[in-house]
Structure 1
């Protein structure tokens, strides 16, 4: 099952945190990033795909060294739709932030400096998608199928965050 299917499952499951309001606020955040940069939403989705790939690697490392609870705690603490530089710093070293920006710039044509300025909003948005699968009553308890699907991806370098955002946008606008 794809990441977007997991997210839709979380939206329809009252025991998980996902909601149409949450998806709508994520789409609005993507639109804000697009407006701020003057780039079209598909370019911003590509940036989020690159950011998502690095978020996945960082969360996989946290999961391997500290367990599932630590990965979920980071998602819970830093997910959102507002800029949060601490979210970026908690997942990426300064060198990694530069690398993420350069890779995203190569793939999208946006300036690496612009992308670096977008990271404090891009990282919480990616984490917000992942939080949708958390337990609604106690986010630290029980498995998060959205996060698990994301972390157990086939490691082909293609993170479906960009696809999930595009599909969510289409889903919300029908």
Structure 2
């Protein structure tokens, strides 16, 4: 089952945190960011795909180091739709951030300083999307199927943050 299917399943499951309003807030934030990048939706999706892949790799590494509970704690602490530079620092080293910014800039044509400024918003948005699978009764437990689907992807491009956000927009009629 793909990431988007897991998110929709979480919306339909009263025991998980996901809701249409949460998804709508995530989409609204992404749309605002896209507007701030000149409204180029295609390039914004490329940026989100690159960043989503980097977040996946970093969280997989964190899972190896501190287990699923450690990753769930990061999600719970830093998920949101408002800028949070600490979210970036919790996931990436400064050299990783430099490499991510350079990669996104080269592939999208966006100014590196713009990307640098947007990371504190984009990272919490991605984490918020992953938080949709949290158990409402015990959000600290590491049984988040959305997060697990994201982390267990085999890197073949099937699980993509940008695709999930685009599909969510269609799901919500946006």
TM-score by length of 1: 0.95
Q: Distance in 2 between matches of 1:106 and 1:48?
A: 14
Q: Which residue of 1 aligns with 2:70?
A: 70
Judged with a 3 Å threshold, the aligned counterparts in structure 2 of structure 1 residues 85 and 142 are, in CA distance, closer, same or farther, namely closer
More displaced 10-residue stretch of structure 1: 28-37 or 13-22: 28-37
Give runs of aligned pairs for residues 65-144 of structure 1, distance below 5 A. Answer: 65-144=65-144
Q: For residues 60 and 171 of structure 1, what CA distance do their matches in structure 2 show?
A: 28
Counterpart position of 1:2: 2
Name the CA shift for 1:134/1:24 in 2 (closer, same or farther; >3 Å). Answer: same
Aligned-partner Cα distance in 2 for 1:61–1:39: 33
Give distance in 2, aligned partners of 1:118 and 1:101. Answer: 10
Give the paired residue count: 174
Give the structure-2-normalised TM-score. 0.95
RMSD after superposition: 1.4
Asked whether the equivalents of residues 62 and 70 of structure 1 are also in contact (C-alpha less than 8 Å), the reply is yes
**Which residue number corresponds to residue 156 of structure 1?**
156
- Gaps spanning 5+ residues in structure 1: where? none
> Is 2:68–2:142's contact at 8 Å kept on the other side of the alignment?
no
Report if the CA contact (8 A) 2:15-2:137 is conserved.
yes
1:52-81 Cα deviation digits (max 9, x unpaired): 111111111111111100001101110000
Following TM superposition, by how much is the alpha carbon of 1:159 offset from its aligned partner in structure 2, in angstroms? 4.7
Structure 2 SS opposite 1:169: helix
